[in-house]
Structures are given as C-alpha cells and as structure tokens.
Amino acid sequence: MVAAPRVLAIVLAGGEGKRLMPLTASRAKPAVPFGGNYRLVDFALSNLVNSRYLQIVVLTQYKSHSLDRHITKTWRMSPLLGNYVAPVPAQQRVGKHWYLGSADAIYQCLNVIDDERPDIVVVVGADHVYRMDFSQMVDAHVESGAELTVAGIRQPISLADQFGVIETDAKDPTKIAAFREKPADPVGLADSPQEILASMGNYVMNADALVAAVTADATNADSRHDMGGDIVPAFVEKGTAGVYDFIRNDVPGSTDRDRDYWRDVGTIDSYYDANKDLIAVTPVFNLYNGEWPLHTGYTGLPPAKFVHAGRGRLGHAADSIVSPGVIISGATAVGSVLSPGTYLHSWASVSDSVLMDGVQVHRHAQVHRAIIDKNVVVGEQARIGLDPEQDRARGFTVTESGITVVPKGTVVE
Ligand code: ADQ
C-alpha cells in the first residue's frame, strides 16, 4: 500500500474585503460574522479539519486582531498529536514590507514548509461559504500527475471579472490550457456559452513545486506576487496545471439542494443573499448536516428565549435563525438571522435582516432588509431599512438592491 501523502494546509486570510465595507472597517474579511454563530473563516477551517488535514497555518495580515483572537480561542487543537491551527501574521521576514500578494504571503512563510516537510500543500481562501472534502481533490491531484491542481466551478459569465477563468484542454479536460485572472473579455464554455469555469481560489500543489514557484516569483519584478495572477499562469505555461471540477466532490450528508453550493461573499448583496440561503424552509445551504459539521466558537451564552410582553404580545420568530443568548421579548422576527446575544424588546419588529452579536432593538423600532453590525443599539421607535434616503442621510451604506448596513457600535436614535 502506498503511504498517504503528508499534507500541510495554508489558509490565505489576509484579504481586505474592500467591497464588504463597512463590515470590514475594523476586521479582516475572513473574520466577518456570518450565519449567526460563524465567522467566514470557519467554513475553510471546518472543511480542512473534516477532510482530516490537521496541520493548518492561517496567513493573516489586514486588521487581523479579531481574526487572530477567533482562531486562537476557537481552533486550538491538540499539540500532543501534532495537530494545530496556527495564525501566522505578516512578519516582514523577507524585506520590510507587508505581504504584497497571496504568493508573497506564502513565500514569507516558507520556513513553515521547511519545518513540516509536507509532500503536498493545500492552499485555500478564507472567504467562501461551502462544504468541500479536500481529500478527494488531493487524491485526484496525485492521480493526475499535475504539479498544481486548481478547483473549478461553473459561474455565470457576467461574474468573470471577479474570478480566475479556466480554459481546459480540448483533448484532456483535466488539464488547464489557459488561465486568465479576472478577464474583461471572457469566452463562455462550449457547451454553455453563458457560463465560465471559475477558479475557486483553492489549490493543491506538490510542495517542492510550490516552493520553487514562489521563490522564483519573489525576484520577478513584473509579478504582482499573486497566486491567481502569477503562480497559476506559470504552471499553465509549463503544462503542469490541472483542474478539479467541484461537481465531482461528494461531501457526506449533502442534500441534492446544497451539494454544489459555493458562494463568494465578496459584496454586501452576496453576503446578504448567502445569509438568507441558510434560513429557507428547504435551505439552499444546510447548516444541519451532522456528517460534515461546521465548527465555530463556543459562546458560553444561555439558550435563546422567547417571552411575551403582556397584552397578548407574544415574542416570536419565524423563518429565522436564532442563536444562543438571544432574547425576543414581545417582539417579532421574520426571515432573519439573529446572532448571539441580540435582544429584541416589546413591539419591535425585525424582518429580512441580519443582526450581528449583541444588537439591541428597543421598543417599537422597525428593522427591514438591513445588516446591523455588532453591538448596534436601535433606539425606541427608530426605523431602519424603510426609507433609503433617510438611511443614507444618517451615513449608512445602502446598496443598489436596497440593503441598509449599519456600522458596528452605532447608536440609532
Ligand atoms: P481574489 O479573492 O480576488 O481572487 P485575493 O484578493 O488574492 O484574490 O484573495 C484570495 C485569498 O487570499 C482570500 O482568501 C484573501 O483573504 C487572501 N489574501 C489576499 N491577499 C493576501 C495576502 N497578502 N496575504 C494573505 N492572504 C491574502 C482569488 C483568485 C481567483 C479566484 C477567486 C475565487 O485569485 O483566481 O477565482 O479567488 O474567489
């Protein structure tokens, strides 16, 4: 029997997430709270741990305080068994600059690869919502003989300028013939012209090939030192890049509905939509798959409670996710995500909204189609998400589709 390869996982968690402002004003994108209990990075880390890859470094950089705290508090594993999830902040190990791009981030932490001596390195992004068994991708990579394998998924051609676009070899569709990072003039797939094959930003690489590639890239003055923009195209040029079609990935316990679910929650609208996907009656993405659990921090909070406020005013929630520590007292929540410790007071109404940790909604207040960041206080009678002009005048972000975002800690009178 051939021994299983030694695998080290690297999670790229240094992204700024500019298009998610103001949610990323004080935290890195992978630390953005999602789905009540989670942070975005929990999906990548859960997928790795469930794939039994237990040596994981998380490369952080931008506003990484809350991300580091979350990782060290939540994701400590047993050092006795040689398992770890270690945050590695930008260290200026080589040169006096922060990471220039994702390839430079890997170059700057080559000492970790030296220490671990893995055969294979799995490199994954930290800001997507999905389930994936990386061991199936690693098996396909080893079998194919490629030096680098990129995970691909079909996406609408209108989104091509947000992704690396993969063109497969006409004779061998497991090989990449061309790879263009965020092209403005994409060509649709032969069998589906309105779609492209997008890179998911997840790579499986032979460790020695990765080390050689990022080392050579470091001295290339023309490079942006980016995995998608520079490293993948270099392997494509050499003819050693393969593609792993995500549709082949079969995660235990997946439903027909959520088997191929993958969302890049890069914008406020896509972030909002992905939260809503969790609460559909037949969820588009099912959090309740016990065979592939999504791990996150223990809040230590008491159970949620629903109480009425007299005069027949029942506190209730419907079509919603309600986290620990929530109190709904004579208030109504519909179609919403309520994160730990939110408190809805009498006669308040929250609909089609995402409330992050510790939000208070006082009496008679109304919140509709809004994302309310941590510890916001919505004062008595206040209205959010009902009048876009008023919301903008108060300095809140309102997206084109009409989602209002209230920044962390705001007191809304
Ligand atoms: P983007 O997400 O636009 O496209 P990038 O901004 O490099 O590329 O982010 C990729 C991952 O690396 C994210 O998880 C981010 O947090 C992290 N990251 C970015 N800069 C970093 C740095 N300096 N240090 C550490 N981590 C960093 C990428 C690919 C595309 C692919 C999409 C899929 O380049 O080809 O289609 O992901 O969403």
| 220 and 178 within one domain | yes
Q: Give me the pLDDT at residue 95, please.
A: 56
CATH number of 15's domain = 3.90.550.10
Q: Does 16 count as an annotated binding residue? A: no
Task: Judge if 345 and 212 occupy the same domain.
Answer: no
Q: Quick one: three-class SS letters along 124-192? A: EECCEEECCCHHHHHHHHHHHCCCEEEEEEEEEHHHHHHCEEEEECCCCCCEEEEEEECCCCCCCECCE
Q: Which atom of ligand 1 is nearest to the CA of 44?
A: 14
Whether residue 38 is annotated as binding a ligand: the answer is no
269 with 323, same domain: the answer is no
CA of 12 to the centre of ligand 1 (A): 7
Q: Cα separation of 103 and 87, whole Å?
A: 17
- The answer to the question of whether 181 is labelled as a binding residue is yes
Q: Which among 228, 253, 274 is the end of a domain?
A: 274
Q: Is residue 285, in this structure, part of any structural domain at all?
A: no
In a domain, 113, yes or no: yes
Residue nearest to atom 11 of ligand 1 (CA): 125
Same domain, 198 and 321: no
Q: Are residues 265 and 341 in the same domain?
A: no
Q: Which two tokens stand for residue 200?
A: 């998911």
Q: What is the CATH number of the domain that holds 367?
A: 2.160.10.10
Cα 102 to ligand 1 centre (Å): 6
Same domain, 225 and 367: no
Q: Is residue 80 part of a domain?
A: yes
39 within 8 A of 296, measured Cβ to Cβ: yes
- Based on the fold, state whether residues 108 and 226 are members of the same structural domain: yes
The answer to whether 66 touches 33, Cβ cutoff 8 Å, is no
State the distance from the centre of ligand 1 to the C-alpha of 187, rounded, in angstroms. 22
Domain assignment present for 283: no
Query: Which of 226, 254, 274 is the endpoint of a domain?
Result: 274
Cβ–ligand 1 distance for 196 under 6 Å, the answer no
List the residue whose alpha carbon is closest to atom 7 of ligand 1.
102
The pLDDT, as a whole number, for residue 237 is: 97
Look at residue 279 and tell me if it is in a domain: no
What pLDDT is attached to residue 94? 56
Is 226 close to ligand 1, i.e. is its CB under 6 Å away? yes
pLDDT score, position 409: 95
- Does residue 282 sit within a domain? no
Closest residue by Cα to atom 13, ligand 1, is: 125
**Is the complex ipTM higher than 0.95?**
yes
Same domain, 117 and 44: yes
Question: Residue 286 falls within a domain, yes or no?
Answer: no
Cα(141)–Cα(138) distance, rounded to whole angstroms?
5
262/310 same-domain check: no
Contact criterion met (CB below 8 Å) for 127 and 251: no
Q: Which atom of ligand 1 is nearest to the CA of 232?
A: 35
Whether 294 contacts 46, CB under 8 Å: yes
To test the pocket of ligand 1, the residue of 10, 11, 12 to mutate (highest count of ligand atoms within 8 Å of its CB) is 12
The answer to whether the annotation marks 272 as part of a ligand binding site is no
- According to the annotation, is 99 in a ligand binding site? yes
Closest atom, ligand 1, to C-alpha of 12: 26
CA of 262 to the centre of ligand 1 (A): 15
Cα→Cα distances 3→6, 77, 245, Å: 9, 24, 25
Looking at the structure, tell me whether residues 234 and 346 fall in a common domain: no
Instruction: Give, using CA atoms, the residue closest to atom 27 of ligand 1.
Output: 14
Residue finishing a domain among 226, 252, 274: 274
Residue 385 is part of which domain span?
A: 305-412
Residue 84 β-bridge partners: 55
Within-domain flag for 166: yes
Q: Give the relative orientation of helices 41-50 and 65-74 as an angle to the nearest 10 degrees.
A: 30
Q: Are residues 264 and 369 in the same domain?
A: no
- Considering the domain architecture, whether residues 102 and 173 belong to the same structural domain is answered as yes
- Could you identify the atom of ligand 1 that is nearest to the CA of residue 200? 33
Report the number of distinct structural domains present in the chain.
2
In short, whether 186's Cβ falls inside 6 Å of ligand 1 is: no
**pLDDT tens, residue order, the chain (413 aa):** 567 899 999 999 988 888 999 999 989 999 999 999 999 999 999 999 999 999 999 998 877 888 988 998 898 877 777 788 888 887 655 555 666 789 999 998 899 999 989 999 999 999 999 999 999 999 999 999 999 999 999 999 999 999 999 999 989 999 999 999 999 999 999 999 999 999 999 999 999 999 999 999 999 999 999 999 999 999 999 999 999 999 999 999 999 899 999 999 989 999 999 999 999 888 899 999 999 999 998 889 999 999 987 666 789 999 999 999 999 999 999 999 999 999 999 999 999 999 999 999 999 999 999 999 999 999 999 999 999 999 999 999 999 999 999 999 999 98
